[in-house]
Amino acid sequence: MNGIQLFPLSGLPVIRPGDDLGRMLADALRPLAPQPGDVLVITSKIVSKAENRFADLRDVTPSAAAIELAARTKHDPRLVELILRESQSVSRAAPNVLITRHRLGFVSANAAIDHSNTSADPNIVLLMPLDPDASARAFRSCLCELTGVDMPVILADSHGRPHRLGTIGVAIGLSGMPGVEDWRGRPDLFGYALQHTEIGLADMIASAATLLMGQAAESMPATLVRGVQFSSRDATAREIERPPHMDLYG
């Protein structure tokens, strides 16, 4: 087989707190006959739902800092309070824009707190999983036990990027494969040794899978990716995050 294939997992219901998501994913995988080398990409949203990472804005009392920042950004002060709780620091704040360095290390709008595909109640929002790398490890172990295949697992979320419009899928949790591959020293077509090339492998796979998983009402929260070549090195999504001292935009 040549090339890369992507297979959406069908038949998954709306995920609710406490659901045995690992077993549900294993059942949805069986018709695809998973094989060694496959990678499973799961949207972080269904993981957050299974982990009951819902928050009700009616239960949030904004701090003075949240009220001040909400006035600058024109956001709901209760939402800003949640954003601050989920963040290490504020990177940028302007009308309708609040970008922070999340407690997990990545930089994103609104600490990746989401309303979409969360609830019909506008006061209900969804936070990131507590520990996406740990969740990815747990799913990988569970799926290996239930399917007999030790497949890498990526938890994906949609993020924007400096200087580029539009969101893409990125890896915020990872187990079983590298997040970044270092290609420095490899020869190019003309024998020149690459000097600075590091490949964002997990983000590339997450973005490809997001084409199928979508952003709206697609109801395809997981995708099996087949045919990607990668080294056997295990890693976490933390290796993808640019350290603050190297981040000119965060």
Residue-number span of the structural domain to which 235 is assigned? 5-53+128-246
Q: What CATH number is attached to the domain comprising 171?
A: 3.30.1330.100
Check whether 88 has a pLDDT greater than 50. yes
Question: What burial class does residue 243 get, using C-beta atoms within 10 Å of its C-beta: 0-12 exposed, 13-18 middle, 19+ buried?
Answer: exposed
Same domain, 114 and 232: no
Last residue of some domain: 124, 156, 180? 124
Q: State the Cα–Cα distance between residues 54 and 117, nearest whole angstrom.
A: 12
Last residue of some domain: 86, 109, 124? 124
* pLDDT recorded at residue 188: 67
Check whether 148 has a pLDDT greater than 80. yes
Cβ contacts of 154 within 8 Å, gap of 6 or more: 39, 40, 41, 42, 136, 171, 173, 174, 177, 202, 205, 206, 209
Same domain, 83 and 187: no
* pLDDT recorded at residue 89: 93
Torsional sign, CA 186, 187, 188, 189: negative
Q: Kindly report, residue by residue over 189-217, the tens digit of the pLDDT.
A: 666 666 666 778 999 999 999 999 865 54
Number of structural domains (the chain) is: 2
Q: What CATH number is attached to the domain comprising 104?
A: 3.90.1660.10
* pLDDT recorded at residue 225: 97
Same domain, 84 and 96: yes
* pLDDT recorded at residue 1: 47
How many other β-carbons are positioned within 10 Å of the β-carbon of residue 138? Answer: 16
* Residues forming a β-bridge with 90: 100
Q: State the Cα–Cα distance between residues 202 and 208, nearest whole angstrom.
A: 10
Please give the average per-residue pLDDT across 162-188, as a whole number: 85
Q: Is 223 left (phi over 0), alpha (psi -120 to 50) or beta?
A: beta
